[in-house]
Amino acid sequence: MPLASRFSVPVVTVCLALVASGLVIGAGSATAAPVSSDPLVTLAAGSSPRSIAVGAGGEFFTANFGSSVVAAFTSDGVFEPLRSVPMPAGSHPIDVAVDSKGTVWSANIDGHSVGSFVPGTVMLTVFDLGVGVGPEAVAVGPNDIVYTANGSANTISKIERMGAGFVTTAKFAELVGAQPLALAIDAAGDIYTANTNNGTVSKVSAVGRVIDVFAKLPAGGHPDAIAIDSHGMLYVADTDHDSVVKIDPSKPLATNIIATYQLAAGAKPFGLTVDARDNVYVTNRATSTVDVIPDGATVATTIQTMPVGSGLTGITVSPANVLLTTSFARAVVSSLDLTTVLTLTKPVADVDLGASVSGSFTATGVDPLTFSSADLPAWLTLNPTTGAFTGTPPTSGPVSFSVVANSLVGASNPVTVSFTVIGAAPTATPTPTSTPGQTTPPTTVPGTGGGGSTGGSAGGGSGSGSTSGRGGSTGSLAHTGADAGGAVGLVGSGLGLVALGIVVGVRRRRRTV
């Protein structure tokens, strides 16, 4: 078991070396737009960034094969010289990973070693795997155990913390004739390798038991990359068949390849990563494109195209849901914000009943984008393509509904629209009708000494009465009231009032308003 060799590199020396070599020519800053930044970072010519890894805070690191430097950047793409470290001269870091403690690990293919450092400290630790052992890939498993796939040696190495130090097992597992180029580790600590020499996937248990042929790609297949999703499904990039295959580890050898995703002819898939939603992303070295296989999809879709000859290699997704890729030939890091963001661009104010309602949304994200609502009122229409909504409310009262934007790789947070419809629905006014020649029925008014009736005229006396209205109409929405009547008839002489009595005729008048 080889011992880990250590040497110190003063921070100031690292900084001067990086700045003097012109490691970073330009770096981008965090902005809300554009969604895509190509480049986000431009490195010095000849840096040849081969892979990329991201830390818990969104900071990222590139393994620069050409300059033998592991460079550090903020999540915005700002170069951090005090957190960047050169590897031993000529060691050519080819892959990089970050563990849960923030320690950075690099696979140095020509230095037959693994480099390790805590960003911002003065110590670089180099783990020598032995002459002839060229690590092609590095990955961190449960409990921060580090593994490397050593293609030229057909082995898997293991580096494990023990107390204040580490124990290195240069030959943790042997895969005879396989030439493993990449590896992925599941939640149980089992390791899966992509073996380019024999077109297979091997499985190595956490205790070192080997299944040499765990899965077999179609004849002529050459896997270059492997990734695992949250359900334990494996994805393998088959560079010679321009495809990605999906493997279900729970199934037996002959049936565990459960899907094949065909890419563009000549794509040459090179890197794989999986985001928190289980979308799978692929860098295609020959076509300089990035494809996505959305969770549950049956086909791959191109979502980003770089300049011809970029030579896309490394790929990862940050905690902020930003896709980061490295272009080996152009020496740049590019980004694509995968988050779907929905904005209400035309809000709705309170409206009167019967008035038309309209509003609109816009969204940013990975095309194609659509808009939907699970609780849209029946009287509103939402255009799923433009995000515009229109309608006329049939009743008054509060209105509230939510809309989401859906992209190829995920939905936005919902945005709620709320407003009030003011007023009551108009009530129809009944139109009164009149009957020609209709007269008001008489009303009997008791008298002092006898009965009498009033009508158009009072019996034997003079009476007066009137009807309010037009054209003989008795009116509409009427209410009745009593008016002191009209005519009082005196029968007999003024001296015979007691004998003859008084007859008072009161005519009731119907009043309309």
6 has pLDDT over 80: no
Give a yes or no: residue 292 inside a domain.
Answer: yes
Judgement on whether residues 212 and 360 belong to the same structural domain of the protein: no
Q: The domain spanning residue 177 has which CATH number?
A: 2.130.10.10
Q: How far apart are CA 208 and CA 231, in angstroms?
A: 23
Domain assignment present for residue 274? The answer is yes
User: In terms of Cα–Cα distance, which of 24, 80, 32, 81 is closest to 49?
Assistant: 24
The rounded mean pLDDT for the chain is: 83
The pair of structure tokens assigned to 425 is 């629905």
User: What is residue 107's DSSP assignment?
Assistant: E
Residues 329 and 353 in one domain: no
Strand-pairing partners, residue 62, are 52, 71
The whole-angstrom separation of Cα 168 and Cα 146 is 9
Q: How many CB atoms lie within 10 A of CB 371?
A: 22
Q: Vertex 60, ends 55 and 62: CA angle to 5°?
A: 130
Is residue 111, in this structure, part of any structural domain at all?
Answer: yes
CB atoms within 10 A of CB 502: 15
Q: Note the pLDDT of residue 472.
A: 37
**Which domain does 109 fall in, by range?**
33-337
Q: How far apart are CA 28 and CA 78, in angstroms?
A: 7
Total number of domains in the chain = 2
Same domain, 197 and 294: yes
**Is the residue at 26 inside a domain?**
no
Q: Which residues pair with 174 in a beta bridge?
A: 155
Distance CA 247, CA 227 (A): 10
Co-location of 103 and 249 in the same domain = yes
Burial bucket for residue 87 (CB in 10 Å: 0-12, 13-18, 19+): buried
CATH number for position 352: 2.60.40.10
pLDDT band (50, 70, 90) for residue 511: very low
Same domain, 258 and 375: no
Looking at the fold, whether 262 and 377 belong to one and the same domain comes out as no
* Domain C-terminal end among 393, 422, 451: 422
Q: What is the rounded average pLDDT of the residues 476-485?
A: 37
- Nearest-5° Cα angle at 37, 31 to 41: 95
Q: In which order are the strands placed within the sheet that holds 36-43?
A: 24-27, 36-43, 332-337, 322-327, 312-317
Separation CA 321–CA 274 (nearest Å): 11
Q: Would 27 be classed as within a structural domain?
A: no
For residue 480, CA distances in Å to 51, 473, 485, 513 come to 94, 15, 14, 9
Single residue among 422, 448, 480 that ends a domain in this structure: 422
Euclidean distance between CA atoms 44 and 331, whole angstroms: 7
Q: Domain check: are 43 and 164 in the same one?
A: yes
Peptide bond between residue 10 and the one before it cis (omega within 30 degrees of 0): no
The SS3 call for residue 253 is: helix
- pTM > 0.75: yes or no: yes
Q: What is the pLDDT of residue 430?
A: 62
pLDDT number for residue 148:
99
Burial of 178: CB neighbours in 10 Å, binned 0-12, 13-18, 19+: buried
Q: How far apart are CA 166 and CA 4, in angstroms?
A: 8
For the segment 33-83, what is each residue's pLDDT rounded down to a tens digit? 348 899 999 999 999 999 999 999 999 999 999 999 999 999 999 999 999
For 217-267, what is each residue's pLDDT tens digit? 999 999 999 999 999 999 999 999 999 999 999 999 989 999 999 999 999
Residue 265 forms part of a structural domain: yes
**Percent above pLDDT 90 for the chain:** 74
Do 180 and 262 lie in one domain? The reply is yes
CA contacts within 13 A on the Cβ side of 214: 23
Rounded Cα distance, 361 and 359, in Å: 7
Any domain includes 160: yes
* Helix/strand/coil percentages in the chain, nearest 5: 5, 45, 50
Same-domain pairing of 365 and 292: no
Contact 109, 92 (CB under 8 A): yes
Beta bridge partners of 370: 406
On whether both 145 and 40 belong to a single domain, the answer is yes
Nearest to 51 by CA among 135, 113, 122: 135
Residue 447 lies in a domain: no
Q: Which of 422, 446, 466 is the last residue of a domain?
A: 422
pLDDT tens-place string over residues 166-219: 999 999 999 999 999 999 999 999 999 999 999 999 999 999 999 999 999 999
The residues with which 347 forms a beta bridge, in sequence order, are: none
Same domain, 113 and 193: yes
* 3-class SS string, 218-235: CCCCCEEEEEECCCCCEE
Q: From CA 370, how far away is CA 389, in angstroms rounded?
A: 13
Residues 398, 328, single domain; the answer is: no
Q: Residue 4: helix, strand or coil by DSSP?
A: coil
State residue 433's pLDDT score: 58
